[in-house]
Amino acid sequence: MKLIALPAFTDNYIWMLHDGHQAIVVDPGDAAPVAAALDTQGLALAAILVTHHHPDHVGGVSALRPRLLGEVYGPAREAIPQPFVPLADGDAVSVLGLRFQVIDVPGHTAGHIAYFLPSSGAGEAPVLFCGDTLFSGGCGRLFEGTPAQMHQSLGRLAALPGDARVCCAHEYTESNLKFANAVEPANAALARYTVACRALRADGLPTLPSTIAQERAINPFMRCDAPDVITAARSRGVADRSGPAVLGALREWKNSFR
């Protein structure tokens, strides 16, 4: 299976998996890049996977339906373009011989889900389509959920295999790493990763996918138990050292960080 990031809007990625004949797309906020990729590579559209209801993730679904051979799949607790197959934690989606595991990851939105693919072929690393819950070096804004929900959601993703490829829906990495370095300036792994990501962007290349192991090492929102991260959160006035409290303080800080 080939994994491709299709750029959309100013900073979105629509992820595509294909076998040379049929494709699965994730969060098609814009139909045009998907249609162009299908036409250029001679692919049929087998299925659409949706992580949450925001327009930049579902805006192209209706326009792509005439090309769709299978189903649209999406979160059971959110309103996305009908018809779709509703999914919740523990469900699975089988398409093109692949079996995606569904994980509830509320926080950014109330019913956000992620899709985890343990294997896309012999010797290929697992794949995680996490929408706007997890970004490289960051996490989504808490539009509908709570810090406790996001902390639990990121904990579930952190428990996935370290080599899992993290397919986020936005190219936010450089700005996230600027913030991460403010939180944890002595993190050597973060310093190395920042240099590598800057080089990729300078060459016009995506920083994604990341990996779960990478995010465990550099992402402050996945490191709420790290001493330096706790210290940074407490400098923002938080007395509680619990994971949700630390994450909440970091998220509030990030919302106004420049």
Catalytic residues: 52, 54, 56-57, 108, 132, 170
Cβ–Cβ < 8 Å for 154, 140: no
Token pair 């590579």 is at which residue? 41
- DSSP, collapsed to helix, strand or coil, labels residue 56 as helix
- Residue 44's pLDDT is what? 98
Which residue, among 52, 48, 106, has the nearest Cα to 78 in the 3D structure? 52
Quote the tokens at residue 192. 């190395």
Q: Over pLDDT 70: what percentage of the chain?
A: 100
Residue 6 has pLDDT above 80, yes or no: yes
- Residue 120's pLDDT is what? 73
Q: Give the end-to-end CA distance of the chain in Å, rounded to a whole number.
A: 39
Rounded to an integer, the average pLDDT of 202-230 is 98
Q: How confident is the model at residue 166 (pLDDT cuts 50, 70, 90)?
A: very high
Quote the tokens at residue 8. 């959309």
Residue 78 has pLDDT above 80, yes or no: yes
21-75 residue pLDDT tens: 999 999 999 999 999 999 999 999 999 999 999 999 999 999 999 999 999 999 9
Rounded to an integer, the average pLDDT of 3-25 is 97
Give the separation between CA 18 and CA 82, rounded to whole angstroms.
24
Quote the tokens at residue 57. 């993730």
Architecture of domain 2-255: 4-Layer Sandwich (3.60)
Cβ–Cβ < 8 Å for 103, 127: no
Within 59-208, residue ranges assigned H as helices are: 61-64, 147-158, 173-183, 188-202
Work out whether the CA dihedral 166, 127, 205, 46 comes out positive or negative: negative
107-126 residue pLDDT tens: 999 999 999 999 877 689 99
Residue 9 has pLDDT above 90, yes or no: yes
- Residue 239's pLDDT is what? 82
- Residue 237's pLDDT is what? 87
